[in-house]
Amino acid sequence: MQIVPANTLVAQSRSGERGAALITVMLISMLLLMAGGSLIAVTSMSAANAADATAESQAYYAAEAGTQAVLGVLRGNAAPNPLFNATTTDAANKISFLKAVTRSWSNKSTDPSTMTLPDGSVVPYPIRLSSWLPYDATYTDRVTLSPSYSLLSGIAYAVESVGDPDFSSIVTYSTSGTFDNNSYIKSYGNSSNGFTITYNNLASTVVNTGGGVSSTNLGGFTISAANGSYTLTNAPFNLVVSQTTPWASTATIKCTISGTVTKSGTTTTVALTLALPSPKYNIEGVVYTVPLVSQPLTATSTTLSATVTAPEPRRILVKVRGYGPRGAIKRMQMLLGRYAFNYSPAAAITIRSHDDNTTAMTFNAGNSVQYDYNGNDKAGGTALPAFTVTSTPDYNLLTGLPAGQVLGNPAVQKVSVSSLASFLQTTDGYYGARSAVDFLRKSAMKVKWPLNCTGLSTQCDRYFASGETPSDFGATQPNGLLTFVDGDVDLPLGGGAGMLIVTGKLTMNGSSSFNGLVLVLGGGNLDRSGGGNGNSLGSMVVASFGSTGNFTAPIFNSSGSGNSSIRYDSDWVRRALTLGGPVVLSVSEY
């Protein structure tokens, strides 16, 4: 009998399990290897993601830097390169919204006019402010921000486009006309000696100015039913221009017609003249120009030729691309408004009356032979009152003035406080008078003048503290200057132009005049005195209030031996409003 050890039996019964430990170790090793590989992959991806996130952030900051650079240009803090005019301060070197969206001004002359897209289509080359921004000489499609810029490690930005979202270069308008019978047709004389004249209305017409000047017409006249001979002398005719785009408004041009119409046999000879008050008419910034203020009507059918000049855009949309390392790109768009301080005049002179509607202002209009006030727009736009007030006592002071001294539509007007600009409705709050004054003060502190000024910011800005007198009130500048005086100031004999804000007493001596917008806010004291012939164009506002409390009674005083006038001019008001610089309406990624 053979005896087999028990451990031998166990070993024999488990012979099929041989190598299991090796397999187990291998499986565990594979799992550990996979886990380790995953950890390495995750770590690598995290590092890559971190690098990508950093690159994305840098691209975002580059896009932000681009929007700020564009804003600096549009605020007038940069000159074109090369200069359009050798004199740095010349008007040609000053940016405007119209120049920003016009390719010939915005882009360098070396920029191409078209570009080919990857799909083969040819499109206009983008308007990108290359005349005003320092695009790189090597990477010509962008402005580099990193020293020794490279595509892999540097940051940069590019202006993708500068556009006009309101398409203000496209003007739509129509015309109509009436004689003194309130009709577009009028017969003069009788069947033996007379004729019929008909104004031919111009239907709605679209003119694409392309940002410049385009030819058009303002309707025309037809002469019919002529017999014998008849002479007109200053026959009244109202020509109405109704504009619908880019901004709706209507202007009535008061004309006269003089001359003779004669018919001999079958031949009608027309020798009439349409006399217009001005060659230019400004309707919400769109300028309509006729070639002659005495327009000859020498045929039985005459068309009134004219030109239309594009207005300054009120808004522009800027799109900027930011470039970061590793091909990162961010896009931002910024909508800018043309007027940081937006004001629509209620009159040639708006006087904010005392809040109690009882206390009258201190007022002296001056001798009617020497001083006159006119709300009829010199630029040809809609007529306004010469004076607008908000209280009955102030209205009563003005209605007694001679008709020849005060002109407008109507000459004097009392309005509700709620109809005025927000800063004239209340002294407190975000939109109140004191906030408006503070906003204008800060705006003047941000303006750099002249462009090549290298002194301290307080030496180059347009803010003047109490006791400081500006050396230049902008009289020689095409659009004038923004000038803020915190206190009293005397306007010099040379006058000024632009936007003038005075928180104390403004004295206009003798022949001193100001073209633009004058805001006497706070002290509310405007004094015009002395000899000379100062004629101001634009609009004025006088409002009295202190550091606390409501509006009080203002002072408006005119006296002296000189001849002086204040006349509303919408064009000068628009020019003045541009001086506060643009305002950012919105910023977003896209």
Asked whether 397 and 361 are in contact (CB, 8 A), the reply is yes
Alpha-carbon distances, residue 128 vs 67, 84, 109, 565 (angstroms): 12, 17, 12, 44
The whole-chain average pLDDT of the chain stands at 90
Q: How far apart are CA 63 and CA 129, in angstroms?
A: 15
- The two tokens of residue 543 are 């409002």
Residue 98 has pLDDT above 90, yes or no: yes
Which pLDDT value is given to residue 316? 96
- C-alpha distance across the termini of the chain, in Å: 96
The whole-number pLDDT of residue 7 equals: 58
Q: CB neighbours of 416 closer than 8 A, spacing ≥ 6?
A: 390
C-alpha to C-alpha distances, 250 to 172, 489, 573, nearest whole angstrom: 12, 38, 18
Taking only the tens place, the pLDDT of each residue in 186-205 is: 999 999 999 999 999 999 99
For 36-50, 67-81, 262-276, 282-296, which range has the lowest pLDDT when averaged over its residues?
36-50
Helix (H) or strand (E) holding 446: helix 433-446
CA distance 112 to 451: 29
Contact 412, 401 (CB under 8 A): yes
Q: 578: closest CA among 525, 488, 517? A: 517
pLDDT band at 324, cuts 50/70/90? very high
Distance of alpha carbon 489 from alpha carbon 500, whole angstroms: 11
Half-sphere exposure of 28 (CA within 13 A, CB side): 6
Please enumerate, as own/partner, the contacts of 542-550 that have beta carbons within 8 Å and a separation of 24 or more.
542/349, 542/350, 542/351, 542/352, 543/351, 543/352, 543/424, 543/433, 544/352, 545/427, 545/433, 545/434, 545/521, 546/522, 547/434, 549/427, 550/355, 550/426, 550/427
Listed residue (585, 535, 542, 589) closest to 562, CA to CA: 535
The whole-number pLDDT of residue 8 equals 56
Give residue-wise pLDDT tens across range 344-396.
Answer: 999 999 999 999 999 999 999 888 778 899 999 999 888 899 999 999 999 99
| Token pair in block for residue 42 | 């995750």
- Greater confidence (340 vs 352) lies with 352
Hey, what amino acid is at 116? Answer: T
Instruction: Say whether pLDDT at 522 is over 90.
Output: yes
Buried b (16+ CB within 10 A) or exposed e, 554-584: bbbbbebebbbbbbbbbbbbbbbbbbbbbbe
Which strand ranges, in their side-by-side order, compose the sheet holding 280-283?
Answer: 185-189, 194-200, 213-227, 301-309, 286-289, 280-283
Per the structure block, which two tokens stand in for 134? Answer: 């320092």
Q: Which of 300, 227, 292, 294 is nearest to 270 (CA)?
A: 300
Q: 319: which 2 tokens?
A: 């799109």
Instruction: Judge whether residue 50 has pLDDT over 70.
Output: no
Task: Name beta bridge partners: 115.
Answer: 123
- Bridge-based pairing of strands 143-144 and 156-163 is antiparallel
Q: Measuring CA to CA, which residue among 443, 420, 558 is closest to residue 498? A: 443
Burial 136-174 (b: 16+ CB within 10 A, else e): eeebeebbbbeeebeeeebbbbbbbbbbbebebbebebb
Residue 72, both tokens: 């600096």
Residue at 314: amino acid letter: R
* pLDDT on residue 450: 80
- 12: pLDDT strictly greater than 60: no
User: CA–CA distance from 453 to each of 183, 244, 447, 448, 578 (Å)?
Assistant: 59, 43, 11, 7, 21
Section 496-511 average pLDDT:
91
Q: Find how far residue 416's CA is from the centre of its chain.
A: 27
Question: Tell me, what's the pLDDT at 265?
Answer: 93
Contact 500, 483 (CB under 8 A): yes
Measured in degrees and rounded to the nearest 5, phi and psi for residue 139 equal -95, 80
- Token couple for 411: 């000459």
Q: pLDDT tens, 531-556?
A: 667 789 999 999 999 999 999 999 99
Length of the chain: 590
Q: Which amino acid is at 286?
A: V
Using CA atoms, how far residue 379 sits from 161, 568, 571, in Å, is: 33, 8, 6
Measured CA to CA in angstroms, residue 363 lies from 123, 309, 360, 526 at distances of: 62, 41, 9, 10
Vertex 180: Cα angle to 179 and 183 (nearest 5)? 50
Tokens representing 187 are 């017969």
For the purposes of burial, counting CB atoms within 10 Å of the CB of 125, is it exposed (0-12), middle (13-18) or buried (19 or more)? middle
Q: Which of 159, 123, 67 is CA-nearest to residue 587?
A: 67
Q: Are 558 and 529 in contact (CB under 8 A)?
A: yes
Is residue 274 over pLDDT 90?
yes
3-state helix, strand, coil in the chain (%, to 5): 20, 40, 40
* Average pLDDT, integer, range 299-312: 95
DSSP structural state of residue 147: T
